[in-house]
Structure 1
Amino acid sequence: MVTIDPGDHAAAPATAPANPPCPTPPEPSLAPVDLLANYGDLIDLTQVQRVLVILLRHIGDVILTTPVFSVLQNRHPHLRIDALVNEGTEGMLADNPHINVVHVLRRQQLKQKGLWHRIHGEWRLLRQIRQARYNLAISLTGGERSTTLAFLARIPLFVSARGGNTLLGGWIHPVTHLVRHTGYRRHYVERHLDCLRHIGVHPTPEERRLQLYDGHAEQTRAEQLVQEMIRQGQEDGRFILYHPTSRWMFKAWPSACAAALVDRLATHPGLPVVLTASPDAREMAYIQGMQGRMQARVINLAGQLTLRELVAMIRRATLFVGVDSAPMHMAAAVGTPVVALFGPSSEWDWGPWCTHQQVVASTRHPCRPCNMDGCGGGKVSDCLTTLPVETVHQAILRLLEPLDPQGP
């Protein structure tokens, strides 16, 4: 077992070059748009007024799209840029100054109300999108639903990632610009930005950073929680935020290991551990299992924070510790240093983006990353469950050293 830091070439295994979190390629002698001026897939965005960016995935996926909006807006300030996302993920785009309107596909809510309500709800959404008269749609992950929507909304220019890009068995081809990815060790931030590169917009490394915005209510809630810590004896309000769970529990470390890690961190009283999780029953059961094994006291906020309150708390944290999950991407977006445990998923594709980091992953399992839901589909990942507590603890110490000379 080793600790892999994708941002540090010296710490990476010799068999694989490191993937820096914010790549800095040499400056080309000519601007990319000049080099590609004769290619037919470029779009003259000066002639485009309204853009719809589509990503019908999960919370973490939506966070990784945020550079797309800022790059488009910064390069072409005249554009009105809207988004279409799944219900429950829209909070990650709230207060984003680069987005005008966030359309929400309320898929689960409509399913619960029956077929007629689902048809009516999706038709109403389609009507809203048609009325907006978009000139350009960009589907960052492809798929039949976004392709169908772009076709029915009569959007003339449609950029789409590969997958589900034809309708009626291939008879209808709504996609005007098809983006192909390498599919190997390319971070999803870069894959999303490939949809812009394909049409002639080439972001600089500085433009590729994630962005999340807190509302006043969330900032106030976080400040109240930190002030409560100070009243309880934590003089400067510094803390480690530990989010050990994921919506996909096969990405989670055993609760006994998580509890043992908290006990080790508790030896440093100046840096308390704040424990968080979603209110999901499985995640709350995991937290209860941890508490039954821990000797140390923690500040337990599991199930008590909204997504945006969680973002505000992560922003205030000295360090974030967790697994491959949406909160890990939140930490990267707000610039909080991250220690992340990776098992079956790939740190090259999904690792913390553009922040100080230590990624802990097994090198004893040549099958990883397999992207399976546990070994053999059994919901338990050996490459993750066998990670030693001490390995994770040492990764935390290394990241804390420049932040806190006393260390835990």
Structure 2
Amino acid sequence: MKLLVVRLSAFGDIIHALPALEDLLARPDVQVHWLVDERYRFVTEVFPSAVHVHAVALKGKHPLRDAMRVVRELRRYHFDAVLDFQGLIKSALLARAANSVVYGLDEQFVRERPAAWLERSVPFAEQERHVVQQNRKVALAPFASSLDDLPVMSYEPPRLRKEVLASMRVPLACESSLEDWGNYIVLHAAGGWETKRLPDATWIEVARGIQSTGKRAVFSWGNVQECRRASTLAQQSHALCLPERLNMSALCRLLQKADAVVGADTGVLHLAAAMECTTVMFWGPSASWRSGPFGPRQWHVESNPPCGPCFRRKCGHFVCMDQIRASAILEALHESGAI
């Protein structure tokens, strides 16, 4: 059976889909293809080599032309089924254009309702609240005689395969800097949503608290804007800032060598958890029960405001991140053994 998975973005959401991907690869008669937005193709570097990756530049100079190109490419494979893990109009249109039956999210969880009109909605059980469970449920659909009789899927933590981790052990250009740093904790101050960004004063207090224990705090970043903020935070807290932008292999190397990784509900934190690094994640507009990584090395700090979780990218009040205390993050690091 030849299957196409459509999960265009974003970083963390692609990591969430790893357990469903492993479910598919565990079937010896299944060949898996994956369609991703070109901007997030780097995330697929952590996929097993058996996965065939296709990329579409929806934010490029000629998005329509590139979408038509990738549709022609996909149609040549004559897929037996397509799985849409995203639930957006753009993902549903691309999935449908592959000329096969399309299975998608339960219509109650589809972010853009018209997407459900183009797909066969897979019903979720009440206890299937986590996105990992929901992805696994959709991945089961092509093999079922009836969508109404599918079993309840359990939560399985996303994990990178050992051979993938081994391939990521490439020395960093700043490897000598890492050795000079000694024991360090990565602070990822970026947040894909404005509402996930911790106030600067809280980050500075966390960094100073870490360094008071004799360990180094290292601010990470992924783009020019994040670099400016990370550099400013590092200067104000007398911490360190990554000297260069890291590719996926180098990022994995950085996280593997860290004593812990601290940040919001972002792709870097989900990647760290998938590598079984110690993580401390704080939550406000999003919810750990919905998308959090769970395991013996994962720690969570919840704000739980009366208005949340709202799952909104913008907010006129911005109360949830203000409720996250540096002392709570430092306490979680202490309980984890990182400091």
Shorter-chain TM range is: 0.7 to 0.9
CA distance in 1 between partners of 2:96 and 2:154 (Å): 34
Label 1:329 to 1:302 Cα distance change in 2 as closer, same or farther (>3 A): farther
Matches within 5 A, 1:7-406: 49-74=1-26, 76-94=27-45, 96-97=47-48, 99-109=50-60, 113=61, 117-155=62-100, 157-161=101-105, 162=107, 163=110, 174-175=118-119, 177-181=120-124, 186-198=129-141, 199-200=143-144, 208-211=157-160, 213-214=164-165, 216=167, 218-222=168-172, 225-230=174-179, 232=180, 234=182, 238-269=183-214, 271-281=215-225, 283-294=226-237, 296=238, 298-301=239-242, 304-363=245-304, 365-374=305-314, 377-378=315-316, 381-400=318-337
Q: Secondary structure at the match of 2:281?
A: strand
Residue-by-residue CA offset, 1:351-404 (whole Å, 9 max, x unaligned): 1244512211124x2222112234xx23x621211322212211111111xxx6
8 Å contact from structure 1 (residues 69, 98) kept in 2:
no
Q: Deviations over 1:173-197 (max 9, x none)?
A: 653x421346888221111112134
Summarize the Cα distance change of 1:383–1:146 in structure 2 as closer, same or farther, 3 Å threshold.
closer
Separation (CA, whole Å) in 1 of partners of 2:178 and 2:307? 43
Instruction: Note if contact 1:276-1:303 (Cα within 8 Å) is conserved in structure 2.
Output: no
Amino acid at match of 2:171: R
User: What code does the residue aligned with 1:229 have?
Assistant: L
**Which position in structure 1 is the counterpart of 2:147?**
none
Per-residue CA distance 1:130-158 (angstroms, 9 max, x = gap): 00111111111223333333433321x32
Name the amino acid aligned to 2:24. L
Give 5+ residue unaligned stretches, structure 2. 145-149
Query: What TM-score does the superposition give when structure 2 sets the normalisation length?
Result: 0.85
CA contact (8 A) 2:104 2:122 kept: yes
Is the alpha carbon distance of 1:68 and 1:289 closer, same or farther for their aligned partners in structure 2, counting shifts above 3 Å? Answer: same
Distance 1:261 1:394 in 2: 10
Q: Distance in 2 between matches of 1:390 and 1:63?
A: 29
How far did residue 205 of structure 1 move? 5.8
| Superposition RMSD in Å | 2.8
- 1:94 counterpart SS class: helix
1:5 aligned residue: none
Task: Check 1:95–1:356 CA distance in 2 against 1; reply closer, same or farther (3 A cut).
Answer: closer
Q: Is this contact kept in 1: 2:15–2:158, CA < 8 A?
A: no
- Aligned mates of 1:327, 1:319 — CA distance in 2: 12
CA separation in 2, counterparts of 1:302 and 1:104? 29
Letter paired with 1:107: L
Tell me, in whole angstroms, the C-alpha distance in 2 between the residues paired with 1:183 and 1:244.
Answer: 34
Cα distance between partner residues in 1 of 2:157 and 2:293:
13
- Residue 275 of structure 1: SS of its match in structure 2? strand
**1-side partners of 2:132 and 2:91: how far apart?**
19
| AA partner of residue 268 (structure 1) | T
Contact between 1:331 and 1:337, CA under 8 Å: does it hold in 2? yes
| Equivalent position amino acid for 1:372 in 2 | R
Q: What letter is aligned with 2:204?
A: A
Distance 1:90 1:203 in 2: 31
Paired with 1:248 and 1:318, the residues of 2 have a C-alpha distance of 26
User: What is the CA–CA distance in structure 2 between the aligned matches of 1:221 and 1:138, rounded to whole Å?
Assistant: 37
Contact kept? 2:157, 2:294, Cα under 8 Å: no
1:323 Cα offset (Å): 1.1
Change (3 A) 1:125 1:215: farther
Q: Does the CA contact (< 8 Å) of 1:256 and 1:289 recur in 2?
A: no
Distance 2:223 2:264 in 1: 17
Structure 1's 387 and 253: CA in aligned 2 closer, same or farther, altered over 3 A?
Answer: same
Using the alignment, how far apart are the partners of 1:299 and 1:361 within structure 2?
A: 27
Q: Which runs of 5+ in 1 are unaligned?
A: 1-48
CA contact (8 A) 2:191 2:265 kept: yes
In structure 2, C-alpha distance between the alignment counterparts of 1:203 and 1:97, rounded to whole Å:
26
**Which structure is larger by alpha-carbon Rg, 1 or 2?**
1
For 1:391 and 1:305, the matched residues in 2 are separated by 29
Q: How many angstroms does 1:306 deviate by?
A: 2.2
The answer to whether the 8 A contact 1:258-1:290 is kept is yes
Amino acid at match of 1:370: C
Greater Cα shift, 80-89 or 347-356 = 347-356
